[in-house]
A = this chain, B = another copy of it.
Amino acid sequence: MTTASSPTPSELLESARRDHAALVERGLSLNLTRGKPSSRQLDLSADLLELPRGRYTAADGTDCRNYAGAPQGLLELREIFAGLLQVPVEQLIAAGNASLELMHDSLANAFLGTVPGGTGRWADAERIAFLCPVPGYDRHFALCERFGIEMIPVPMTDEGPDMDVVERLVSADADIKGIWCVPKYSNPDGVSYSDEVVRRLAAMPTAAPDFRIFWDNAYAVHHLTDEEVEIADVLAACAESGNPDRVLVFGSTSKVTFAGAGVAFLGSSPANVSWFQGLAGKRTIGPDKINQLRHAMFLGDAEGVRAHMRRHRELLEPKFETVERVLTKALGGTGLATWSTPKGGYFVRLDVLDGCAREVVRRAAEAGIALTPAGATHPYGDDPRDRTIRIAPSFPELDALEEAIEGLAVCVRLVGAEKLVAEQG
């Protein structure tokens, strides 16, 4: 069936081996592992390093240097992000420098107390399970492992998690207490949840009365195209469905201002916010209000955030275009890989032939190209088809990125051809 112009698998393998040897020869040192902003992106917030320039009072007169005041976070900062995160300002908490902390503490509080609507401490349950749409975010999975939460994978579709599967599982199993969601520009697919998926998540019957959606809206304002995707308001949808306490909304400025020194947010129902704040009030007298003041001064308002994110896009869009261009040129039409073309967020999902992802990552490492470990996108590091690789193009400069993706493509060709040849043999 092979036409004269199509190389045989053996020919493919031969040329891929030559290319890989040459690649190793070059002794590269490139890193595509984590979704870190680049230095030039961080430079966009350089003024934060000069703020608050002697000012220390919040709009309500609170002395941000001292203990008291604003335990829920500075109102002027919450006002900026309330609309962007689709949370009423009085239901939005502004806290420390990482939304991961707020997810962790929400779990810890559920394990050591009783969440609104719950019947007891999760720590006392025989078994606690969470649904994990796959591929997903490895730090969510690490939190589950840390708390001994069983992870149940659920397939992703182009519109979010497969809701038929989700509904079937949560209606039958009261041990399933939650689901991880990255609802916009998901990590690593770049999928944004459809209105219908949001509606079904909000309305579905759950066997657990204290079921929680962990809504990690990490890329709420992180657009890469003019489309600027909007998702449905999950908090409102839950309230309208009679499940007001179902969802915890998380967000942060980690990829808006500084990844290590930003501000994180938690939004939810009045009951959940009051529950969380009651416990947070035992843990701390309050968040770093000076850093919140700094952020409010720097960003100004929601339009200020949008304008700032357009400057991020100017730096990020060429990188995602480079990934798309290089992958298309090197792998398009080969049948050896498919990949996502996200409209926002920080990642490209690359799927290689079944059983090849680990080997591709290993071959890339041989050539000095560090990738997120294969399997990291799945609970327990176990990608049953061993095919998904997460590409994080944000951090390297453009020329290094191009080199890295070209090298990665060589590894995909090599491992793919090896598989095809082995199957022939």
Contacts and interface: CB of A to CB of B under 8 A. Distances in A.
A298 interface: no
Nearest to A38: B66
A113 B291 CA distance: 32
Contact of A49 (B52, B97, B289): B52
Interface string A187-204: 000000000000000000
A68 B282 contact: no
A56 B49 contact: yes
Copies in the complex: 2
A8 interface: no
A156 interface: no
Given A54-B46, A100-B284, A147 B65 contact: no
Contact of A36 (B66, B146, B283): B66
A65 B53 contact: no
Nearest to A99: B284
A234 interface: no
Given A39-B63, A64-B260, A64-B261, 12 more contacts: A42-B56, A42-B66, A49-B56, A66-B258, A67-B260, A101-B283, A104-B283, A111-B111, A112-B123, A112-B147, A146-B279, A260-B290
A423 interface: no
Nearest to A284: B98
Interface string A109-145: 0011000000001011000000000000001001101
A66 B279 CA distance: 29
Contacts of A254: 67
B63 A54 contact: no
A219 to B, nearest CB: 15
A396 to B, nearest CB: 13
A259 interface: yes
Interface of A: 34, 36-37, 39, 42, 45-46, 49-50, 52-56, 63-68, 96-98, 100-101, 104-105, 108, 111-112, 121, 123-124, 139, 142-143, 145-147, 254, 258-261, 279, 282-291
Nearest to A143: B282
Contacts of A290: 49, 258, 260-261
A69 to B, nearest CB: 8
- Top 7 nearest A-B pairs by Cβ distance? A261-B290, A123-B123, A104-B283, A65-B258, A146-B282, A42-B65, A67-B259
A397 B147 CA distance: 48
A112 B52 CA distance: 39
A287 B261 CA distance: 8
B260 A66 contact: yes
A124 B123 CA distance: 8
Contact of A34 (B53, B67, B124, B143): B67
A67 to B, nearest CB: 4
B65 A261 contact: yes
Contacts of A287: 97, 260
A53 B284 CA distance: 28
A259 B146 contact: no
A240 B283 CA distance: 32
Nearest to A54: B49
Contacts of A42: 56, 63, 65-66
11 contacts: A42-B63, A49-B52, A64-B261, A65-B259, A65-B261, A98-B283, A104-B283, A105-B283, A146-B282, A260-B289, A288-B291
